[in-house]
């Protein structure tokens, strides 16, 4: 069916559920274990464009690194946040699914079906 890319974290139940949903729908999935191979700032910028989100919307504020790095500072630029997310990929909300030139956050997992 459709070839899709999923930025996946095996430890995350939403990520596992989204991947299972895609596979049940017959999608050929390119699984990117983004904790092992973090996306670059450029990749994150492209993902944000496809998601229609800002870096602040995609960042996981509950992660330890968020507080440790002072990422709640409103003076930080979009690039500052993207650089932090690339260096500390646990800060990236997940899963992100890319298909047909669009991206969607799999929260809830069914939300990705609209881009297939």
29 belongs to the catalytic site: no
Kindly report, residue by residue over 26-46, the tens digit of the pLDDT.
Answer: 999 999 999 999 999 999 999
Q: Which of 5, 12, 60, 90 is catalytic?
A: 12
Give the pLDDT confidence score for residue 2 in this predicted structure.
58
Pairwise CA distance, residues 73 & 102, whole Å: 30
SS3 99: strand
User: Could you give the residue range(s) of every CATH 3.40.30.10 domain in the chain?
Assistant: 39-91
Asked if the model's pLDDT at residue 111 lies above 70, the reply is yes
39-91: CATH number = 3.40.30.10
């Amino acid at each position: 069916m459709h070839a899709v890319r999923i930025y996946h974290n095996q430890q995350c139940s939403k990520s596992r559920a989204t991947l299972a949903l895609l596979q049940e729908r017959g999608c050929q999935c390119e699984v990117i274990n983004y904790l092992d191979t973090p996306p670059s700032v450029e990749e994150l910028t492209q993902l944000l464009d496809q998601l229609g989100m800002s870096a602040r919307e995609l960042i996981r504020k509950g992660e330890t690194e968020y507080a440790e790095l002072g990422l709640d500072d409103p003076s930080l630029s979009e690039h500052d946040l993207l650089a932090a997310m690339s260096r500390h990929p646990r800060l990236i909300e997940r899963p992100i699914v890319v298909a047909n030139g669009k991206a969607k956050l799999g929260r809830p997992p069914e939300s990705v079906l609209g881009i297939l």
